[in-house]
């Protein structure tokens, strides 16, 4: 399918399109998803692509808040099987501006192909995907309506935002993993307890890395209360800041992300050691996030995410060492400590149930290490 051009008819199967478009919309997931066993590769890839469409709707600057709400609800109806995907694609795709990547535009255009794959899954898989898209779409829209350069009010608000964009994905993965393997399901209670924190650790790392690019778009996801405690006004933040107050607030948030990554490590180790594919899928992402946090700490005056991006050699080494240690909890823990040992660690509050898409803040989550 190398001769395929965006905007033209797809001549292959729906599964082939999914394999084709995934690396064009996410290099990271195109690397980790193939590690998963059996049908999980297709299910998780499909779920990711659907989440990416939800992101595309919310990130599109040409759409008004009312349009975003309309199309998110229409998308939820499509995923639930109550509306035709082609109708939504034909309505939405022409409204996307050049701020949307060509690959993301094509993904919207080929929504019917993606849904054809979704429709092939079992009842548990489809229900888990539908719930994820419903919670994510409604929650993201709530925050996008209020997004601005001043940042979020509190750390619990950041927890809630991270839940809607990533914690719910941790819940989705857990349901898919448990459905796939009775051995995984036997440890389902532990996995479900850690799943939201697993997602938040990865998402917070991205927020910290991308904070200056977000600010350039007029958006900030950093909590004002944390910076105010260190004498910093988030409205006045500038890339490359050498302010001691900024450095202290940044270190505190790195510490929170680190604490969640410790939970993500515990989540990964709660997967049976023989499920090496699932472990690689999780641990490669955890390792990349820990390496990114280390880079952030080493260069607190960074001006762009590219300055703290993990090098290919560092990532390759971490993946190789992870693979060599994949069945040993002790060795994997030691490897994580070798990366994250220099990071600050901020204690977390008590675990709370998943939030609803309302204005009620969600308490922060506790650190649960096995």
Which CATH number characterizes residue 175's domain?
1.10.600.10
Q: Are residues 68 and 195 in the same domain?
A: no
Q: How far is CA 203 from each of CA 70, 166, 196, 273, rounded to the nearest angstrom?
A: 26, 6, 11, 26
If you count DSSP H runs as helices and E runs as strands, how many of each does the chain have, helices first? 18, 0
Contacts of 284 (CB under 8 A, 6+ apart): 31, 32, 35, 318, 319, 322
Question: Which residues, other chains included, contact 320 with Cβ-Cβ below 8 Å and sequence gap of 6+?
Answer: none
3 falls within a domain:
no
The verdict on 169 and 107 lying in the same domain is no
Tens-place pLDDT, residues 68-123: 999 999 999 999 999 999 999 999 999 999 999 999 999 999 999 999 999 999 99
281 and 194, same structural domain? yes
Answer whether residue 318 is part of any domain.
Answer: yes
| Whether 116 and 198 share a structural domain | no
Instruction: State whether 342 and 234 are in the same domain.
Output: yes
pLDDT at 351 over 80: no
Provide the residue range defining the domain that includes 87: 15-122
The SS3 of residue 326 is coil
Closest CA to 171 of 52, 258, 277, 267: 267
**pLDDT tens by residue, 30-79:** 999 999 999 999 999 999 999 999 999 998 989 998 999 999 999 999 99
Number of domains in the chain: 2
Describe the crossing of helices 123-146 and 155-162 by its angle, rounded to 10 degrees. 140
Give the pLDDT band of residue 142 (cuts 50, 70, 90): confident
Q: Is residue 275 located within the same domain as residue 337?
A: yes
1 — pLDDT class (breaks 50, 70, 90): low
Which whole-number Å values give the CA distances from 112 to 56, 75, 89, 132, 309, in the listed order?
16, 12, 8, 19, 35
């Amino acid at each position: 399918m190398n001769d395929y051009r965006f905007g033209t008819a797809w001549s292959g199967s729906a599964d082939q399109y999914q394999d084709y478009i995934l690396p064009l919309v996410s290099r990271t997931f195109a690397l980790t998803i193939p590690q998963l066993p059996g049908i999980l590769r297709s299910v998780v890839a499909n779920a990711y692509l659907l989440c990416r469409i939800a992101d595309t709707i919310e990130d599109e600057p040409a759409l008004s808040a009312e349009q975003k709400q309309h199309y998110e609800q229409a998308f939820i109806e499509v995923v639930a099987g109550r509306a035709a995907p082609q109708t939504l694609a034909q309505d939405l795709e022409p409204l996307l501006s050049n701020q949307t990547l060509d690959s993301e535009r094509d993904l919207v255009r080929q929504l019917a192909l993606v849904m054809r794959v979704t429709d092939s899954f079992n009842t548990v898989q489809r229900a888990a995907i539908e719930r994820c898209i419903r919670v994510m779409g409604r929650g993201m829209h709530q925050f996008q309506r209020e997004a601005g350069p001043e940042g979020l009010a509190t750390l619990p608000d950041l927890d809630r935002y991270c839940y809607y964009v990533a914690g719910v994905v941790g819940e989705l993965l857990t349901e898919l993993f448990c459905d796939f393997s009775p051995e995984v399901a036997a440890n389902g209670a532990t996995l479900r307890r850690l799943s939201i924190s697993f997602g938040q650790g990865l998402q917070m790392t991205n927020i910290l890395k991308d904070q200056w690019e977000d600010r350039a778009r007029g958006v900030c996801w950093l909590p004002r209360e944390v910076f105010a405690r260190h004498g910093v006004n988030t409205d006045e933040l500038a890339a490359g800041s050498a302010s001691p107050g900024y450095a202290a607030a940044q270190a505190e948030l790195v510490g929170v992300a680190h604490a969640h990554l410790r939970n993500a490590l515990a989540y990964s180790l709660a997967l049976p050691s023989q499920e090496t594919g699932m472990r690689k899928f999780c641990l490669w992402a955890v390792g990349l996030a820990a390496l990114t946090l280390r880079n952030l700490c080493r260069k607190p005056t960074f001006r762009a995410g590219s300055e703290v991006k993990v090098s290919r050699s560092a990532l390759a080494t971490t993946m190789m060492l992870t693979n060599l240690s994949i069945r040993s909890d002790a060795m994997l823990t030691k490897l994580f400590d070798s990366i994250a040992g220099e990071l600050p660690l901020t204690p977390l509050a008590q675990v709370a149930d998943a939030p609803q898409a309302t204005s009620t803040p969600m308490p922060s989550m506790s650190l649960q290490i096995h």
